[in-house]
Amino acid sequence: MMDMGTLAGTIFLGLAPISELRGAIPFAYLRGYPLWQAVMLGAGANLLVSPLVYLFLTHFHRFLYGKWIFYTKVFDHTVARARAKLGPKVETYGMWGIMLFVGVPLPITGAWTGTLGAWVLGLDRRHSMLAASAGVIMSATIVSLILLLGEGMGSIFVKII
Protein backbone atom coordinates (compact mmCIF):
# COMPACT_ATOMS: atom_id res chain seq x y z
CA MET A 1 0.00 0.00 0.00
CA MET A 2 1.26 3.44 -0.92
CA ASP A 3 1.82 6.08 1.68
CA MET A 4 0.45 9.49 0.77
CA GLY A 5 3.90 11.12 0.59
CA THR A 6 5.16 8.62 -1.98
CA LEU A 7 1.89 8.78 -3.92
CA ALA A 8 1.96 12.60 -4.05
CA GLY A 9 5.69 12.66 -4.79
CA THR A 10 5.33 10.17 -7.65
CA ILE A 11 2.47 12.11 -9.23
CA PHE A 12 4.31 15.41 -8.79
CA LEU A 13 7.50 14.02 -10.36
CA GLY A 14 5.48 12.51 -13.22
CA LEU A 15 3.96 15.91 -13.96
CA ALA A 16 7.09 18.01 -13.40
CA PRO A 17 8.91 19.17 -16.56
CA ILE A 18 12.37 18.37 -15.18
CA SER A 19 11.82 14.82 -13.92
CA GLU A 20 8.73 13.48 -15.71
CA LEU A 21 8.55 9.70 -15.50
CA ARG A 22 12.37 9.39 -15.49
CA GLY A 23 12.12 10.55 -11.90
CA ALA A 24 8.65 9.34 -10.94
CA ILE A 25 9.05 5.63 -11.65
CA PRO A 26 12.39 5.17 -9.83
CA PHE A 27 11.12 7.34 -6.96
CA ALA A 28 8.13 5.08 -6.30
CA TYR A 29 10.02 1.86 -7.02
CA LEU A 30 12.92 2.71 -4.71
CA ARG A 31 10.43 3.56 -1.98
CA GLY A 32 9.11 0.02 -2.04
CA TYR A 33 6.30 0.06 -4.56
CA PRO A 34 6.02 -2.84 -6.97
CA LEU A 35 7.34 -1.85 -10.38
CA TRP A 36 3.94 -2.18 -12.06
CA GLN A 37 2.43 0.31 -9.57
CA ALA A 38 5.35 2.71 -9.98
CA VAL A 39 4.94 2.55 -13.77
CA MET A 40 1.17 3.04 -13.64
CA LEU A 41 1.47 6.08 -11.39
CA GLY A 42 4.50 7.69 -13.01
CA ALA A 43 3.39 7.08 -16.59
CA GLY A 44 -0.23 7.87 -15.74
CA ALA A 45 0.76 11.28 -14.39
CA ASN A 46 3.06 11.87 -17.37
CA LEU A 47 0.27 11.01 -19.82
CA LEU A 48 -1.64 14.00 -18.43
CA VAL A 49 1.13 16.40 -19.47
CA SER A 50 0.19 16.71 -23.15
CA PRO A 51 -3.47 17.66 -22.54
CA LEU A 52 -2.38 20.02 -19.75
CA VAL A 53 0.13 21.76 -22.05
CA TYR A 54 -2.51 22.28 -24.72
CA LEU A 55 -5.02 23.48 -22.10
CA PHE A 56 -2.46 25.98 -20.81
CA LEU A 57 -1.44 27.18 -24.28
CA THR A 58 -5.07 27.54 -25.38
CA HIS A 59 -6.44 29.35 -22.33
CA PHE A 60 -3.72 30.88 -20.15
CA HIS A 61 -0.67 31.60 -22.29
CA ARG A 62 -2.22 34.60 -24.05
CA PHE A 63 -2.90 36.31 -20.70
CA LEU A 64 0.69 35.91 -19.48
CA TYR A 65 2.76 36.36 -22.62
CA GLY A 66 3.97 39.94 -23.07
CA LYS A 67 2.53 41.03 -19.73
CA TRP A 68 4.94 39.19 -17.44
CA ILE A 69 8.51 39.79 -18.58
CA PHE A 70 9.92 36.79 -16.70
CA TYR A 71 7.30 34.47 -18.19
CA THR A 72 7.89 35.85 -21.69
CA LYS A 73 11.68 35.37 -21.45
CA VAL A 74 11.40 31.83 -20.09
CA PHE A 75 8.74 30.90 -22.65
CA ASP A 76 10.72 32.31 -25.58
CA HIS A 77 13.85 30.46 -24.46
CA THR A 78 11.93 27.20 -24.02
CA VAL A 79 10.25 27.57 -27.43
CA ALA A 80 13.57 28.21 -29.17
CA ARG A 81 15.10 25.15 -27.51
CA ALA A 82 12.09 22.96 -28.34
CA ARG A 83 12.05 24.13 -31.96
CA ALA A 84 15.78 23.45 -32.36
CA LYS A 85 15.63 19.99 -30.78
CA LEU A 86 12.34 18.73 -32.19
CA GLY A 87 12.16 20.49 -35.57
CA PRO A 88 14.73 18.32 -37.39
CA LYS A 89 13.19 15.12 -36.00
CA VAL A 90 9.71 16.11 -37.18
CA GLU A 91 11.03 17.13 -40.60
CA THR A 92 12.70 13.73 -40.98
CA TYR A 93 10.25 11.38 -39.28
CA GLY A 94 6.96 13.28 -38.95
CA MET A 95 4.88 12.27 -35.94
CA TRP A 96 7.24 9.34 -35.35
CA GLY A 97 9.83 12.01 -34.55
CA ILE A 98 7.70 13.32 -31.69
CA MET A 99 7.18 9.79 -30.38
CA LEU A 100 10.93 9.08 -30.48
CA PHE A 101 11.80 12.45 -28.97
CA VAL A 102 9.42 11.89 -26.05
CA GLY A 103 10.20 8.17 -25.81
CA VAL A 104 13.95 8.34 -25.29
CA PRO A 105 14.34 9.16 -21.58
CA LEU A 106 17.12 11.74 -21.73
CA PRO A 107 17.36 15.22 -20.18
CA ILE A 108 15.45 17.93 -22.11
CA THR A 109 13.28 15.34 -23.84
CA GLY A 110 9.83 14.29 -22.75
CA ALA A 111 6.16 15.07 -22.96
CA TRP A 112 6.52 18.75 -22.00
CA THR A 113 9.10 19.64 -24.64
CA GLY A 114 7.58 17.31 -27.23
CA THR A 115 4.09 18.78 -26.87
CA LEU A 116 5.34 22.37 -26.75
CA GLY A 117 7.49 21.71 -29.81
CA ALA A 118 4.53 20.22 -31.69
CA TRP A 119 2.48 23.32 -30.84
CA VAL A 120 5.28 25.65 -31.94
CA LEU A 121 5.65 23.75 -35.22
CA GLY A 122 1.89 24.04 -35.82
CA LEU A 123 1.27 20.30 -35.90
CA ASP A 124 -2.14 18.70 -35.52
CA ARG A 125 -3.13 18.62 -31.84
CA ARG A 126 -4.74 15.18 -31.81
CA HIS A 127 -1.90 13.49 -33.68
CA SER A 128 0.69 15.26 -31.55
CA MET A 129 -0.99 14.16 -28.34
CA LEU A 130 -1.15 10.57 -29.60
CA ALA A 131 2.53 10.65 -30.60
CA ALA A 132 3.51 12.12 -27.22
CA SER A 133 1.43 9.48 -25.41
CA ALA A 134 3.11 6.69 -27.40
CA GLY A 135 6.44 8.26 -26.46
CA VAL A 136 5.49 8.27 -22.77
CA ILE A 137 4.67 4.55 -22.97
CA MET A 138 7.98 3.90 -24.77
CA SER A 139 9.90 5.90 -22.16
CA ALA A 140 8.14 4.12 -19.28
CA THR A 141 9.13 0.79 -20.82
CA ILE A 142 12.78 1.85 -21.14
CA VAL A 143 12.94 3.23 -17.58
CA SER A 144 11.31 0.04 -16.25
CA LEU A 145 13.77 -2.18 -18.10
CA ILE A 146 16.69 -0.16 -16.76
CA LEU A 147 15.35 -0.56 -13.22
CA LEU A 148 14.79 -4.30 -13.66
CA LEU A 149 18.15 -4.96 -15.30
CA GLY A 150 20.00 -2.72 -12.88
CA GLU A 151 18.53 -4.41 -9.83
CA GLY A 152 20.66 -7.55 -10.09
CA MET A 153 23.83 -5.83 -11.25
CA GLY A 154 25.22 -5.50 -7.72
CA SER A 155 25.55 -9.28 -7.45
CA ILE A 156 28.33 -9.17 -10.06
CA PHE A 157 30.57 -7.35 -7.59
CA VAL A 158 29.26 -8.50 -4.21
CA LYS A 159 28.79 -12.08 -3.13
CA ILE A 160 25.74 -12.46 -0.94
CA ILE A 161 26.20 -15.17 1.70
Helical residues (DSSP H) of the chain, grouped into ranges: 4-15, 20-30, 35-47, 49-59, 61-64, 69-93, 95-103, 111-120, 125-151
Region 108-123: mean pLDDT is 93
Taking only the tens place, the pLDDT of each residue in 134-144 is 999 999 999 99
Residue 60 lies in domain: 48-142
Q: pLDDT tens, 12-22?
A: 999 999 999 99
Q: 105 and 142 in contact (C-beta within 8 Å)?
A: yes
Distance CA 158, CA 78 (A): 44
Tell me, yes or no, whether 128 lies in a domain: yes
18: phi then psi, degrees, rounded to nearest 5? -80, -45
pLDDT at residue 52 in the model: 97
Question: Could you tell me if 37 and 52 lie in one domain?
Answer: no
pLDDT at 151 over 80: no
Domain-located, residue 159: no
- pTM to 2 decimals? 0.88
pLDDT at 150: 84
